[in-house]
């Protein structure tokens, strides 16, 4: 028993002296931490867009209110005066701004568009061009009804039904401009029993296959390399003076230790990457996966007795796992034969257990 424990710790020491393996063991959780935490700390605030109203024109006020309530891309804010807006842009506190002229509604009605809205911007054309689209979209939603009503008043087509046409336009405008009636698509999925489910009712799960898939392959490869190391030491006569029982136990130790080390590192990576499910499912799935790898590699070492041959097969295991297992995409959904072949690669079972 003491000899087994001594070999166990010596093998751990041997693995940890491997620089490449150590980089992977430490680098995986470190990368997960950087990817999930550092961008949040460096996240910059939204570009600030100033708005100046020279009067309380209805179109100007309604458009400004719509922009001030829009927080999707930019931070629109109300500025007291044009001078204050210029100063804020010069100081770099504001990225660009808009000055709404007096009597904006009258200018638009008379089609005097020049000078209606003045754009003040810094050197960034990208931000101002994007904010232009958002501003004019908001302006159209507010003033679009006026365009329709002005057309009805001016066109001879509506001379006999002008009053009713204006009434219908006032009633329907808000419905069409704000609702989903102009373009409306309703997706439904057809179940095997004939029932249908609305797309809105389908729960979209958090995707973790890329992280889990890559980690599962690394754990698998770690077990295979442990098997290669045992075969190499066996070929070099390391176990010649050892008893047959220890010879069998050493086979398990060589495979188990790198597999366990990568499994522990992978569990830490999964939690740092925030793609974990319940702790019980994580631990149970990883335990079963490690056990499966150990059993597979032990059986493989009886079939393939040359370390060089096993090394040459490792790239096949890696490529097969990447292509046939649902690491990035589930190819079995497009290629039915893949649904049979993927069961030859161990990462498939781990990914199914935690799915």
Please check whether residue 314 is in contact with residue 304, taking contact to mean a CB–CB distance below 8 angstroms.
no
Sheet with strand 96-100: strands edge to edge: 75-78, 48-53, 96-100, 117-121
- Residues near 170 by beta carbon (within 8 Å), at least 6 away in sequence: 145, 149
pLDDT higher than threshold 50 for residue 52: yes
Across the range 62-68, mean pLDDT stands at 91
Nearest 5°: CA angle at 157, between 152 and 162?
Answer: 45
Class of domain 47-143: alpha beta
> pLDDT per residue over 181-210, tens digit each?
444 454 555 454 545 454 444 443 444 447
Q: Which two tokens stand for residue 226?
A: 């442990």
Per-residue b or e along 82-120, where b marks 16 or more CB atoms closer than 10 Å to that residue's CB: eeebbebbeeeebbbbbbbbebbbebbeeeeeeebbeeb
CB 31 within 8 A of CB 70: no
Joined together, the tokens standing for residue 322 give 């990447």
**Whole-structure pTM value:** 0.56
- What value, to the nearest 5°, has the Cα angle with vertex 112 and ends 111 and 118? 125
CB 256 within 8 A of CB 12: no
Comparison of pLDDT for 141 and 240, the residue scoring more? 141
pLDDT digit string (tens) for 79-137? 989 999 999 988 888 889 999 999 999 999 888 888 899 998 876 677 888 888 889 88
For residues 271-286, give the mean pLDDT.
89
User: Helix crossing, 19-42 with 209-235: angle to 10°?
Assistant: 170
Residue 117 has what DSSP assignment?
E
**DSSP calls for 40-83:** HHHPPPPPEEEEEESS--HHHHHHHHHHHT--SS-EEEE-S-HH
CA 347/CA 213 separation, integer angstroms: 7
Q: How far is it, in rounded angstroms, from Cα 113 to Cα 107? A: 6
Chain-centroid distance, C-alpha 32: 14
Q: Indicate the pLDDT class of residue 64, thresholds 50, 70 and 90.
A: very high
Identify the pLDDT of residue 202: 40
Residue 302 in contact with residue 312, Cβ under 8 Å?
A: no
Mean pLDDT across 49-57: 92
Residue 219 buriedness (CB in 10 A; 0-12 / 13-18 / 19+): buried
- Residue spans of the domains in the chain: they are 47-143, 209-353
Question: How far, in Å, CA of 261 to CA of 24, rounded?
Answer: 10
| 22 φ/ψ angles, rounded to the nearest 5 degrees | -65, -40
Q: Which of 76, 83, 119 is nearest to 101 (CA)?
A: 119
Which pLDDT score, from 0 to 100, does residue 159 have?
80
Give me 198's structure tokens: 């609305």
pLDDT band at 44 (very low <50, low <70, confident <90, very high): low
């Amino acid at each position: 028993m003491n000899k087994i424990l001594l070999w166990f710790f010596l093998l751990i020491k041997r693995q940890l002296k491997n620089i490449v393996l150590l980089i992977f063991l430490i680098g995986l959780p470190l990368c997960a931490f950087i990817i999930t935490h550092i961008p949040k700390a460096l996240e910059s605030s939204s570009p600030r867009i100033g708005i100046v109203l020279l009067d309380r024109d209805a179109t100007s006020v309604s458009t400004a209110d719509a922009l001030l309530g829009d927080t999707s891309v930019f931070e629109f804010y109300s500025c007291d005066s044009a001078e204050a807006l210029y100063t804020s842009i010069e100081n770099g506190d504001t990225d660009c701004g808009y000055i709404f002229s007096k009597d904006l509604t009258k200018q638009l009605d008379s089609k005097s568009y020049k000078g209606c809205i003045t754009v003040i911007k810094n050197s960034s054309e990208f931000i101002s061009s994007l904010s232009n689209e958002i501003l004019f979209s908001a302006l159209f939603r507010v003033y679009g009804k006026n365009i329709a009503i002005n057309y009805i008043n001016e066109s001879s087509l509506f001379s006999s039904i002008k009053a009713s046409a204006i009434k219908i336009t006032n009633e329907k405008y808000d419905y069409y401009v704000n609702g989903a009636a102009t373009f409306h698509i309703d997706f439904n999925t057809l179940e095997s029993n004939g029932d249908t489910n609305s797309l809105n009712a389908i729960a979209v799960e958090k995707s973790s296959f890329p992280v889990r898939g890559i980690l599962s392959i690394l754990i698998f490869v770690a077990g295979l390399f442990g098997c290669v190391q045992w075969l190499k030491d066996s070929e070099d006569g390391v176990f010649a003076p050892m008893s047959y029982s220890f010879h069998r136990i050493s086979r398990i130790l060589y495979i188990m230790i790198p597999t366990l080390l990568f499994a522990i590192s992978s569990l830490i990576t999964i939690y740092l990457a925030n793609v974990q499910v319940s702790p019980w499912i994580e631990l149970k799935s990883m335990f079963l996966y490690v056990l499966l790898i150990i059993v597979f590699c032990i059986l493989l070492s009886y079939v393939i007795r040359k370390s060089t041959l096993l090394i040459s097969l490792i790239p096949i295991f890696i490529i097969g796992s990447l292509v046939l297992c649902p690491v990035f995409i589930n190819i079995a959904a497009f290629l039915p034969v893949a649904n049979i072949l993927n069961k030859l690669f161990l990462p498939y079972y781990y990914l199914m257990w935690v799915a």
